[in-house]
Structure formats: C-alpha cells, structure tokens
Structure 1
Amino acid sequence: MLQKRPYILEAWLDNPRELAVTCVKTEAGLQVFPVVENQHERHELTATVAPAQVDGDVVMEILRIAEKISARLNYTGVFAIEFFYTDAGGLYIKRLSPGPRPGGDVLRGMTNTTQYNLHLRAILGWPIPNVKVNGEAVLLPIRQQQQGAINTQIQIKPDWRWQFFPAGSNPVGEVIVPGPLKTTIPAIAATDAFNMQSK
C-alpha cells in the first residue's frame, strides 16, 4: 500500500488544549484580539474561555505568529488562527479560517462590537474602530438537548447574555457569561447545564 502513493506521517498530540486568536485585517493594518481557549467534545464546540489561561510567553508567540501570517495574506476581513497547545509547551497551528468562527462570538461579551460587525466594516472598506477589550467572558453554545435546563437558567441568570438562532440551527443558540473567570467558571459549573473542562 505504501508503494502506491506518498504519505505524510505526523506525530500524535495527546489531548492538547485548543487555543485560537481572532484577527481583523484591512489596508490600514491588523487588530488581534485576546487569545482564547476553545473546548470541544466529539468535534463540537462546548465552550470558549477568554482570555485563555496560559503563560504570557505563549500569548506573545501566538501574537507573533498572527502578525507574520497576516503580513503574507492577501485578505481583508476577520480571520481566525487555531492552535494546538501541549502540556510540554509545544504550539502547533491547527487551522487558518477566513471569516467569523463560532468561538469568536465571545468578543460580544468583552467588547462593544462583534466579529460580524468588524468583518462587514472591513470588506466594505469602512474604518475599523480601535476595539477596547473590557474584561473576561465565557461563551457556551446551547444544544437542543439542553433546552429544559436552559429555560430554568434564563429565569435565574438575568446578567447572562442569551441569544437564540432560527429554527433548525445547530446549535440552537449561545450564551455569553461576562465577568472575571474566577467567578464565572464556578457559576457555570454549578448549573450542571453545561459541560466545561477544568484546566
């Protein structure tokens, strides 16, 4: 079988963390937003934690990579760079994705804008505001099977930012929990409605 075509042999990464950074590029320059950690289960996003709880050296390396990639991209708009990060400190680029990504919605909880607004402004040639990041947040997609538990949480969590999508969407919506991670993550865990990994 190996004689029929070439193959690429890659090392297996055992349970790496998944980090990502959202960027917006225009002719005027590049804005890079905080590094986030995306959590997945069975290839579905279960949470985005912003900012990612990693060393400053890791953040600086991700920002350096983002600027280097951006300089070589003939592209205008929002894009995301996703990484694998291992316990040994290895950082691997997983994917470069044009346009808004599900985890980028967490910006709505940390800024006064959205990735969609930034993307449209960029591709229309409108100026991009200097976006200020105000605090921390967790984004949680809402699946159909969570609907019962979510109905209860909506009644007792008025400060959480709930958004539901049109019928037939998967996920059916998302919630952004703004605030310091030291309080939001325990509050999310206490609901038993969401599946977040502890790091």
Structure 2
Amino acid sequence: MTTLRTPGPTVGVVGGGQLGRMLAEAAAPLGVEVIVLDPTPDCPAAPVAREQIVAEFDDEAAIRDLATRADVLTFEIELADQQVLDRVSEETGTPVHPDPATLETIHDKLVQKRELEAAGVPVPPFRTVEDADDVRAAIDDYGAPVMLKARTGGYDGRGNVPVESKADAEAALESVAGPAMVESFVDFEREVSVIAVKGDDEIATFPIGENVHEDEILRETIVPARSNEAVTERAHAVARDVLEVMDGRGVYGIEFFEAPDGEVLLNEIAPRPHNSGHWTIEGAQTSQFEQHVRAVLGWPLGSTALRSPTVMTNLLGDVEEERPAQLSDLDEILETPGANLHWYGKRAARPLRKMGHVTVTGRDDEGVDELLERAVSLRESVTFE
C-alpha cells in the first residue's frame, strides 16, 4: 500500500459553487489543496480554495490547464463536459473521478433510468415521449397524474412538470422545451436519500435521510429518516446496487421514493456530494465532502457513523427579484446549542436560490420531530435584506 503523506496532493474541481466551497473546507485539514474552475469571478469556493481558474465549464484549454496543476480532477456540477474531461484526462494523464462515462449516463435521465432498470434497480414505470399523444398514452397506461421530465438539464425541480390530465399534455410538453420522458407518479410515503461513497476498493453508505420538498426544492433533511428498519436496509442495499452501475470513485447522492409497501424506487442520482448530505458535516463521523476528497484520491474512507440525530434546513432566497445578498437576524441561530450556520458566499440572492443551510444536532434521546421544529424555527428567524 502506498504511504500517504501530508501536505498532500492537489484536487482540481470543475465548478466553484457551494459544493466546491465545502469540498475545499474539508480538504484543508487533510493537507489537500483545491483549485476550482468556474466562470463566475470570485465564485463561492474562491475564498477557501488555493486558486480559481475563471473559465466556462466546457473550456477545454482551461480544463487542460487545471489538469496540469492537479493530481486528480473531479466535478461538483453536472454541467461539466464529459467528452472534454475524457480528452483532457487522456492527454495529460490526470485521472477524473467519478469517471466521465458516469456523467454521460447521468446527463440524460432516460439513459440513466434504462441502465439502472437493466441492472435490476427498482425504478418507477417510465417511457420516452416525442409528442403530446405520447404523454396522453402514458396517462392511459399509468393513470393521472404523470410526471413529465426534461431528459437533460434541470435541477431543484426545474424541468419536472406534473401532468394532471390529458388536456394539459401539450402545454406541459412545451414548458419542458426539449427531449422529454414521462414517469408514473409514485404515491410515496416519504422521499429518502442515501449518500453513498465508492472508494478504491470499498463502498460506504451514510445513514438514510428523509427529505422534505416544497415546490420540488429540498427544504429539510431529517436523519435518521422516520422509516422502519426494513426500508432502511432496503435503501442501503439498492444504493450499493446503484454504485455497481456507476464508474469511478467519489460520493453519489441517491434519491428514492419510499412506497407504501416498503419498496424503494429510485428517483435520481447525482455523481457528486448532494444537498441532502450536508447534514453529515456536523452529524456524521466523516462528512460527505471529506469522503469525496478521500475517495477521488484513492485514500481510505472514513467512518459514516451517525454522531447524533440531525436536521438540516436550507436557507433559500426569500426575495421577489435578484438583489445583493445579506442575511440578517442571525442571533438566534448563533445562540442556539447544536445549531450550525453555513453561508455559501453568493453575491446575489434570487427567489428560492440556495444561499446557505443550518444544521441542528440533538441528543441521542431527542426525537427528530423536535429537532425538525427547532430547525424550521431557526430558518424562519433570519431574513434577507
């Protein structure tokens, strides 16, 4: 086994948003330096990374420059161009993790679902659609409503349109504006996720989290999830099956629907640290961000054990239009034992934009319902000026 030393290597990250920022924060104590590439000057990750290369996510020359300065490349945004990453890796010899082939699978939700279904991963019934007649045919087969999804692009619910009736099919398809697929609507008990890590020769999974969404945007993650033991074991087993389909080391955010019969149906996968895993910074022995750094470097993974019951709540821009971002009335968060504020350093607040999060940890004998109530109260105590 190779002897690991610190100061250690440099990780090049395509993307410098909040995930890049938290990756750099997690890398620093390990003696690992981070360089980010992002088109926004002074991006959120810039204050904590060693350096920022200002360039578009598909700028091949800039990514090649990044590769020559790093020991390994990774990405924190799916807008990274898999073909560019492949070429740069081949030319420079700098590995990319997760593998760009995984990005190619993830980019197209229809391709993603087909590959996972072929591997035996449980997914909701789905099909491709070319026109409104295909949407109406899906309603005939699956019943209303159905969920229309843009095959590419889209995040935080953008590109996902519930279709309540055949009369809505044409308008829904126009709103997606591009290649689309349709899924049967799942009448789920709750939405859950597993943050899973693929290391050099090991796989680890964090405790299952329960996700609360509103307008398709994550509001809270509750850990442990209010699921029974059978569902928890099933979610971890399916998450491991998902990682068998994915190529390359790193953290994967795997979202599920928990059906009334206890089955878990895969919703979507992110081949990177995920918003529903932010609770791990305070709530787990090793955060998802440190795990990602360890994994892409081929280092041993850390423990995923739960430190304490934890609830994470997102701080979303409560503004009607874009304006400079400044968060006020922080006293209650800072004065509350077990509460932790994370501000992402974004310059502009936009409606429902993720600006930061608050994590609330509790005692082992404290119920998550009480923690959830406390977290929501703290979130509602702050305002954007």
TM-score (norm 2): 0.45
In structure 1, the residue matched to 2:269 is 96
Of 150, 153, 157, 2:336 maps to 157
Of 307, 317, 320, 1:134 maps to 307
In structure 1, the residue matched to 2:254 is 81
Q: Aligned equivalents of 1:126 and 1:76: distance in 2? A: 10
Once the two structures are superposed, residues 111-150 of structure 1 have per-residue CA deviations (whole angstroms, 9 ceiling, x without a partner) of: 24321111111111222123332121000111232945x5
- Alpha-carbon spacing, 1:56–1:15, altered in 2? closer, same or farther (3 Å): closer
Q: Aligned equivalents of 2:289 and 2:379: distance in 1? A: 31
Structure 1: runs of 5+ lacking an equivalent: 195-199
Code of the residue aligned with 2:371 in structure 1: it is T
Of 195, 206, 229, 1:22 maps to 195
Q: Does 1:186 align with 2:373?
A: yes
Q: Does 1:121 align with 2:294?
A: yes
Q: Check whether the contact 1:109–1:136 (CA below 8 A) recurs between aligned residues.
A: no
Q: Aligned equivalents of 2:131 and 2:379: distance in 1? A: 52
- Alpha-carbon spacing, 1:29–1:5, altered in 2? closer, same or farther (3 Å): farther
In structure 1, the residue matched to 2:284 is 111
Of 48, 51, 58, 2:231 maps to 58
CA RMSD across the alignment: 2.8
Q: How does 1:23-42 map to 2 (within 5 A)?
A: 23-42=196-215
Of 68, 71, 74, 2:241 maps to 68
Match of 2:373, SS state, is helix
- Alpha-carbon spacing, 1:100–1:5, altered in 2? closer, same or farther (3 Å): same
In structure 2, the residue matched to 1:168 is 348
Which range is displaced more, 134-143 or 181-190?
181-190
Q: Which has the higher contact order (CA 8 A, sep 6+)?
A: 1
Task: State the Cα distance separating 1:13 from its structure 2 match.
Answer: 2.3
Moved over 6 A (4+): 1-8
Of 49, 73, 78, 2:222 maps to 49
Structure 2: runs of 5+ lacking an equivalent: 1-128, 139-182, 320-326
Q: Check whether the contact 1:177–1:184 (CA below 8 A) recurs between aligned residues.
A: yes
Code of the residue aligned with 1:53 in structure 2: it is R
Task: State the Cα distance separating 1:49 from its structure 2 match.
Answer: 0.4
Code of the residue aligned with 2:221 in structure 1: it is T
Q: Check whether the contact 1:25–1:122 (CA below 8 A) recurs between aligned residues.
A: yes
Code of the residue aligned with 2:360 in structure 1: it is V
Q: Aligned equivalents of 2:134 and 2:318: distance in 1? A: 44
In structure 2, the residue matched to 1:197 is none
- Give the fraction of aligned pairs with identical amino acids, expressed as a percent: 23
Once the two structures are superposed, residues 23-69 of structure 1 have per-residue CA deviations (whole angstroms, 9 ceiling, x without a partner) of: 11112210011010111111211100011110111011111112222
